[in-house]
Structures are given as structure tokens and as C-alpha cells.
Amino acid sequence: MPTALETELAEKVISMVPNVEKVRFVNSGTEACMSAVRLARGYTGRDKIIKFAGCYHGHADAFLIQAGSGAVTFGSPNSPGVTPGTARDTLLANYNDLESVETLIKANPGAIAAIILEPVAGNMGCIPPEAGFLEGLRALCTRHGILLIFDEVMTGFRLAPGGAQEALGIRADIATFGKVLGGGLPVGAFAAAGEIMRHLAPEGPVYQAGTLSGNPLAMGAGLAMLTAIEADPEVFSRLEQKTAYLHKGLQSALEASDLPFQINRFGSMISVHFTDIPVRDFESAATGNNPHFKTYFHGMLDRGIYLPPSAFESYFLNDALSYEDLDLAIASAGAAMSRNATR
């Protein structure tokens, strides 16, 4: 049974996010992405999807094909338990590489239901989209009747009030959300135009349900979070300024060592990659010196700075961090790097 809070939060999401008219709440980002793909398949009548190496969309079977973040960290990017049939319906492209997408579309004419990606990748470190990449995907999807799904579990309400769609000026057909939307409680959601969402049961034939979906605790926390964001739109510029400050400080601190590194940043997302080549996709992210990252991570932890414990995970700044906190992180990075450089 829907609650008043669920309706209020849905109205808030629709008012903030471009290009959506209806929202369906679930309990996690995994559920949101899984349901979005099912909806895309039901809407288009097609079976295959394209995902990108290094992008993580939760632990549903269809997504554990060259997944990023935890799957890579723990050494199982192609998880046991995923059937060959499932794997055959998931086509793998390279992030920031339109040609690889075009090749897959040409090889599978009329068979691809959706292209799903993180519009700003966060599960192979922070990797922003290169100029023209998302625009090219949007054009390909429109041309071939493919639905474009933005996994905004990380970027939604974080990069702008309307997420990556607003920040980047690209409109997806379906967007998925989590994390911020729950105000710290378990939540997920997927949203789209009414024409697409009407294919969901009970209006349409595509089934999705969950006993705890839209539960009042999560809806209340999410509504409080989005209301706070809406009341303080300057939070996004403050976060971007703090992230730029951290970037500059880390750059200076790490340059004191002769060890190679790259820093990627977009909005309040940032990551350090210990490699000597620009990081623009999963292949380049995988060139990072992972043993060195582990030593660096523990060097920072020893100094009270808890980084994401994976070389394939973006950092996320929050507005509670002061510039004094950032200065401590920068000083700690320099010390940890000096420690690493002597090993």
C-alpha cells in the first residue's frame, strides 16, 4: 500500500530530476538497476543489453560481467553462479569508446534493449565522460530504438539537484537512484517518462514488487534529505570547491615523490590512481599499482584518514568536511607517500 511519504518523495524526485514523470521505489541500487533493465526489455521486446567494462550496477547476474569496484577488488569480475545464457545477453563495451558501442550495435541489429552506464564512472575510480561520449550514446540510442539507462546511484542528487542528467545536459530514458535518495537508509528507485513506466504492473505486463519498497522510514529520511538539498542549492558549489581544493593539495603532496599517479575529479567525486597514464576507462584504471595503493591506504588510515578501501572506488566528499579536515588529509597523503617512496 503506498504511503503519503512515498507520494511526497516521488513528487520531489520528479520536480528535481529532468525527463522523469513517474518513479518506482525499491530497496537498493541493485534492485533499481535490475528492474530498469527488465522494464527496458519489456518495453522494447528485445533481450540484450550493453554495459561497460568497469561500471558496477549491483550484483544482479546480468551485471557481473566485467564489473568494477568490489568485484575487481576481490578478484572475481566474472562471478561464479552467472550462467552462460545470462552472460550471452550482456554485451561489453569500453567506457569513453563510442566505436566499441557502434560495433556491438552493428553486430546485434534490432536485438539490444538498453545501454546502461554510470554517466560519471565511480567504480573504477572516478572517471568522467570525455567530450562527445554521452552525446554520442544518446544519438545512437535514439537512432536504433535503444533505451539509455543512467545508473545514478552514485551521481543522483550528488552532482546537481537533478543529478548527472542536469550536470551534463544529457537526457536518459531511464534513471536509477539510491544512496542519497534514502538519507542513509536502504532505498533505491528507477524513474522514466510515463510512456515507459506504464509498462510496469499493475498498469502493464512487466512485473516488479517488494514488500519493503517505499517503506515509511526510508521515504521519510529521503524526503528530509532532498528537502535539505533543495533548500540549500549552494551545497553543490561548496562541494565542488572543496573537491578542487583537495585535488590541488593532493597533487602538490604526491608530486614530492617520484612515484607516478593520476588524479581524476568531477564535482564532489575524486580518485587517485597510481599509474603513469591517463585513466579514462577500465583498462587504464587497471594499470594502477594496486600493492602501492594498499600501502598508501594503510598509511592514510594510520593517520586517521579512512579512504575507500579499493583502488577502484571513487572518493565522495560531503559538506560536513571542513577545510581543516582537508588540510589534514593533504598532509597525511604527503606523509604516506613519503613512507611508500622509501619502501
User: Looking at the annotation, which residues are catalytic?
Assistant: 56, 151, 179
Amino acid at position 125, single letter: G
Report CA 219 to chain centroid distance, whole Å: 21
Cell digits of residue 316: 565522495
* Rounded to 5°, angle at Cα 33 from 2 and 62: 135
Amino acid at position 164, single letter: A
